[in-house]
A and B are shown apart, each in its own frame.
Chain A
Amino acid sequence: DIQMTQSPSTLSASVGDRVTITCRASQSVSRWLAWFQQKPGKAPKLLIYQASSLEIGVPSRFSGSGSGTEFTLTISSLQPDDFAVYYCQQYYGFPYTFGQGTKLEIK
């Protein structure tokens, strides 16, 4: 199975900050990488697919980059609504696998 490792596990930041979350795959997943946002008690929401494509309706302050084994999710200017848990996920091959999550907290 492809292992996905996110860093950091927890990130404390303030409204207006620029933040970056990193996701590393144990082998190449090409660009078949998605990012999700999850709020308490809610289903995950797709933000980014194919490493850098913004899902319809997602604010442009979210961006993704990378290919192969290293990927990043960047939020250019944090808004109050952005404090949540973020997951990366590879869909290069079965079984699909997720990172362990990054909790974005208010500083």
Chain B
Amino acid sequence: QVQLVQSGAEVKKPGASVKVSCKASGYTFTTLDLHWVRQAPGQGLEWMGWMNPNSGNTGYAQKFQGRVILTRDTSISTAYMELSSLTSADTAVYYCVRGRGAVACLDSWGQGTLLTVSS
């Protein structure tokens, strides 16, 4: 079955960077896009960006342009989300999500990674 397993919780200071990993299994990693969505405590869902694991092409929400980088290592079926210049507003659960289909429906979600930004 499809599984997306993310790295563990992180605590970072303001101004720092974080890199979250997402290991895919149960399907061919390079055939479907991966998206990243975050959820601040008690808040709704916010889409951050997407990556084509085959080509490495990416797209980002304007809000995160210049601050987020999506990468991948196809040899280990793992995607990465790096977010820099952290502030307390970045405290949230970050999810990697598989996009299914030519018009990508978000069908399978990782378990989430809690990022806490605090001085």
The interface of chain A, by Cβ under 8 A from chain B, is 32, 34, 36, 43-46, 49-50, 55, 87, 89, 91-92, 94-101
Q: For the complex, what is the distance from the CA of A101 to the CA of B40, rounded to whole Å?
A: 13
Contacts of B110 in A (CB 8 A): 43
25 example contacts (A-B, Cβ-Cβ < 8 A) are as follows: A32-B103, A36-B106, A43-B112, A44-B45, A44-B95, A44-B109, A46-B105, A46-B106, A46-B107, A46-B108, A49-B105, A87-B44, A87-B45, A91-B103, A91-B105, A94-B61, A95-B47, A95-B61, A95-B62, A96-B106, A97-B47, A98-B46, A99-B44, A100-B44, A101-B44
* Contact pattern, B 81-109, Cβ under 8 Å of A = 1, otherwise 0: 00000000000000100000001111111
- Write the nearest CB–CB distance from B110 to chain A, whole angstroms: 7
Bound Cα distance A101, B45 (Å): 9
Chain B residues with CB under 8 A of A99: 44
Tell me the dominant secondary structure on chain A's binding face.
loop
In terms of DSSP, what is the predominant structure of the interface of chain B? strand
- A91 near B104: Cβ-Cβ < 8 Å: yes
- By size class, the interface of chain B is 20 to 34
Residues of A within 8 A of B103 (CB): 32, 91-92
Contacts A87-B44, A89-B45, A96-B35 given; indicate if A43 touches B107 (C-beta within 8 A): no
